[in-house]
């Protein structure tokens, strides 16, 4: 297993642990997510709420299917998806920021540190692979892109 695959696996494993921490200490993030979904539902008349839900599920299903196809295709497509997961891991820094702003513990803070660290490491590994795998060697010269 490559370094990038190992980091992706670890990032996937820390996700449920992160959610367990939030379920134990507070689901504030769920309420924020729920609030942001309100803007999606506001695009539709109230009687079309079920259709809005089905559309959202369809969009997300399509996005995840495209990601699985890219992962199975390999090459740059695979690296692009893994890079997105690395960036997603980095976005968990919001727990640190919220804790600093509140001057108090934010539910998910402890595991977010691992999430951010693994996200940064995964993204860095993806960038390294992207550059390494797409360099050509010219005889008698340094590698060129």
Confidence (pLDDT) at 142: 56
User: pLDDT (tens digit, 9 = 90+) per residue, 62-119?
Assistant: 999 999 999 999 999 999 999 999 999 999 999 999 999 999 999 999 999 999 999 9
Q: Domain limits of the chain? A: 3-144
Instruction: Identify whether the C-beta of residue 106 lies closer than 8 Å to the C-beta of residue 19.
Output: no
Confidence (pLDDT) at 140: 58
pTM equals 0.82
Over 90: is that where the pLDDT of 57 sits?
yes
pLDDT band at 31 (very low <50, low <70, confident <90, very high): confident
Confidence (pLDDT) at 30: 87
Q: Which residues contact 108 (CB under 8 A, 6 or more apart)?
A: 18, 21, 22, 25, 29, 92, 95
Instruction: Identify whether the C-beta of residue 90 lies closer than 8 Å to the C-beta of residue 116.
Output: yes
Over 60: is that where the pLDDT of 143 sits?
no
The pair of structure tokens assigned to 125 is 């590994």
Instruction: Identify whether the C-beta of residue 81 lies closer than 8 Å to the C-beta of residue 74.
Output: no
> Per-residue DSSP letters for the chain?
--HHHHHHHHHHHHHHHHHHHHHHH--HHHHHHHHHHHHHHTTS-GGGHHHHHHHHHHHHHHHHHHHHHHHHH-HHHHHHHHHHHHHHHHHTTHHHHHHHHHTS--TTHHHHHHHHHHHHHHHHHHHHHHHHHT-EEPTTS-EE-
């Amino acid at each position: 297993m490559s370094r990038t695959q190992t980091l992706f696996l670890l990032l996937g494993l820390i996700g449920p642990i992160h959610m367990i921490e939030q379920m134990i200490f507070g689901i504030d993030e769920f309420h924020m997510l729920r609030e942001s979904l309100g803007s999606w539902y506001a695009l539709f008349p109230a009687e079309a709420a079920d259709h809005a839900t089905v559309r959202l599920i369809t969009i997300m299903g399509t996005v995840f299917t495209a990601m699985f196809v890219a992962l199975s295709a390999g090459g740059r497509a695979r690296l692009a998806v893994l890079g997105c997961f690395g960036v997603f891991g980095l976005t968990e820094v919001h727990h640190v920021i919220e804790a600093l702003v509140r001057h108090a513990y934010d539910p998910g803070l402890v595991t977010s540190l691992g999430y951010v660290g693994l996200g940064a490491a995964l993204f860095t590994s993806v960038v390294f692979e992207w550059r390494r795998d797409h360099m050509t060697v010219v005889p008698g010269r340094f590698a060129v892109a």
